[in-house]
A = this chain, B = another copy of it.
Amino acid sequence: MTVTLADVAARAQVSPATVSRVLNGNYPVAASTRERVLKAVDELDYVLNGPASALAAATSDLVGILVNDIADPFFGIMAGAIQSEIGGPGGRAGGERLAVVCNTGGSPERELTYLTLLQRQRAAAVVLTGGAVEDAVHKAAVAAKLRKLAEAGTRVVLCGRPPAPETGAVALTFDNRGGGRELTEHLLGLGHRRLGYIAGPEERTTTRHRLEGHRAALAAHGVEEDPRWTVHGRYDRQSGYEATLELLRRDPTLTAVVAANDSVALGACAALRDSGLRIPGDVSVAGFDDLPFSIDAVPALTTVRLPLAEAGARAGRIAMGREEPPPGGIATVRGELMVRGSSGAPRG
């Protein structure tokens, strides 16, 4: 019922080996033979059996992309960029590879399971995007898995994720610390001294790094931080909304709110607006990432632009072996401060 290589071979009056070689094009085949084979393929509407081919050749054309949340443009943009370089259909590369995006939902277990699944499929490469979880046990487990993948010949690239030493993985890390510092310095420069900070989930590297940058800036300016000024939440709008109300409750005299990312900042804006406060007249707001929608906030969001698409594209090329990995296998990708309407001098 299903057409196999042998059927094509029979029809083209050649051996299966020849058909395989025509299809893979890595062995000399006479033009006339090739044509005959191609014709047979076409007539029989033959479709290669991927698993069989992967088994025999001991390689597959699957490339895995792990993301924390596929509904978040932060990951969508990176995934899209990676995929376009992987050379899925229409991509720039030659061979047709199946780029598979896996949604971990931020769960460490799922991350591990997906890695195993990918290992099982003998994936050609794997790109992990976004921050990692700090938990030592999980970190070790992931590192072990990555090492194993690398040993099996799978190229591993981390995009926007801290390096994983001793795993052979190439890392393109975002300078979250630097970006956070710069952002807060901007606010301090405007004269703010009482800054609320809405951090992401406590256990994520991204959260910690951005917060550290923020604190470094405060320290550098001799501003003593009040513990009440930091609230942890999720990386979404609702969390930003709630956290802002909480911050306002704790200290109504805050003149600025720095958010873990743009979605959170949007929620913060909504909460401030609902509380009758003007932005930036009463309170300045800052985000992080510079996702497309942040320019449409009113006022437009001051934030740190992360070159998501560029980093993703580069990660994709490295994963495909079409670009040299950075020296030492680690590169830091810097963000750029985008000053817009949501930040201004504090009142008074």
Residues of A within 8 A of B (CB): 2, 45, 47-55, 60, 62, 69-73, 75-77, 79-80, 83-84, 88-90, 96, 98-105, 107, 109-110, 112-114, 116-122, 148, 152, 237, 263, 266-267, 269-270, 273, 292-293, 295-298
Determine whether the beta carbon of A55 is less than 8 Å from that of B51.
Answer: yes
Q: Give 12 CB contacts A-B under 8 Å.
A: A49-B122, A51-B55, A73-B76, A88-B102, A88-B114, A89-B110, A89-B114, A90-B113, A237-B292, A270-B295, A293-B296, A296-B297
Determine whether the beta carbon of A77 is less than 8 Å from that of B71.
Answer: yes
Determine whether the beta carbon of A102 is less than 8 Å from that of B113.
Answer: no
Chain B residue contacts of A98, Cβ below 8 A? 100, 102, 114, 117-118, 121
Chain B residue contacts of A101, Cβ below 8 A? 70, 79, 100-103
Contacts A88-B102, A270-B296 supplied; 13 other A-B pairs, CB < 8 Å: A47-B116, A49-B120, A50-B54, A50-B117, A70-B83, A71-B80, A80-B105, A83-B103, A90-B105, A99-B100, A99-B103, A100-B102, A101-B102
Determine whether the beta carbon of B89 is less than 8 Å from that of A109.
Answer: yes
Determine whether the beta carbon of B50 is less than 8 Å from that of A122.
Answer: yes
Chain B residue contacts of A69, Cβ below 8 A? 80
Q: How far is it, in angstroms, between the C-alpha of A90 and the C-alpha of B68 when the chains are bound?
A: 13
CB < 8 Å neighbour of A103 from B88, B104, B112: B88
CB < 8 Å neighbour of A122 from B51, B117, B119, B298: B51
Determine whether the beta carbon of A48 is less than 8 Å from that of B89.
Answer: no
**Whose C-beta in chain B lies nearest to the C-beta of A238?**
B292
Known: A88-B110, A98-B117. A237 touches B55 (CB 8 A): no
A55 to chain B, nearest CB (A): 4
**Whose C-beta in chain B lies nearest to the C-beta of A76?**
B71
Q: How far is it, in angstroms, between the C-alpha of A121 and the C-alpha of B100 when the chains are bound?
A: 12
Q: Which of A76, A119, A152, A297 has the most CB of B within 10 A?
A: A76
